[in-house]
C-alpha cells in the first residue's frame, strides 16, 4: 500500500465524525518531505473549532497510522496565532 492509500485509510477512520457535522477532508498533496496537505470541506472549512479538529483529530489519526508523516497542514485554514486571523461568522 502506498503512502497516499495509507493516509486515506487513516482519514477514513475519522471521516464519519466529520461527516456527522457536515464536513469532510481531502488530501491535496503529500510533499517529498512527507507533509500531508489537506483541504477541509463543507462545515469543517468554516467551523471555529477546525484548528482543534486538525490537531486533536485528523493529525493524530494520520500520524498514528502513518508514522513517517512529518506534519499535517490544512491549505484553507488560518493559523490561530496569525495576527490577521478572524473568527468566521457563525449563524
- Reported as a single tens digit per residue, the pLDDT across 37-60 is 998 888 777 777 777 777 778 999
Domain count, the chain: 1
Q: What is the CA radius of gyration of the chain?
A: 13
- Does any domain span residue 87? no
Q: Which domain holds residue 12?
A: 3-74
* Residue 30 included in any domain: yes
**Predicted TM-score of the model (pTM):** 0.78
What does the pLDDT look like over 11-25, one tens digit per residue? Answer: 999 999 889 888 899
> Does residue 27 sit within a domain?
yes
Q: In this structure, what CATH number is given to the domain that contains residue 18?
A: 3.30.300.130
What is the rounded distance in angstroms from the CA atom of residue 13 to the CA atom of residue 79?
25
Amino acid at each position: 500500500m502506498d503512502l497516499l492509500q495509507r493516509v486515506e485509510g487513516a482519514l477514513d477512520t475519522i471521516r464519519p465524525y466529520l461527516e456527522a457535522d457536515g464536513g469532510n477532508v481531502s488530501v491535496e498533496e503529500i510533499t517529498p518531505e512527507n507533509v500531508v496537505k489537506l483541504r477541509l470541506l463543507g462545515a469543517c472549512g468554516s467551523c471555529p473549532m477546525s484548528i482543534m479538529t486538525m490537531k486533536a483529530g485528523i493529525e493524530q489519526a494520520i500520524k498514528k497510522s502513518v508514522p513517517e508523516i512529518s506534519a499535517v497542514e490544512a491549505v484553507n485554514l488560518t493559523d490561530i496565532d496569525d495576527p490577521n486571523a478572524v473568527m468566521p461568522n457563525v449563524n
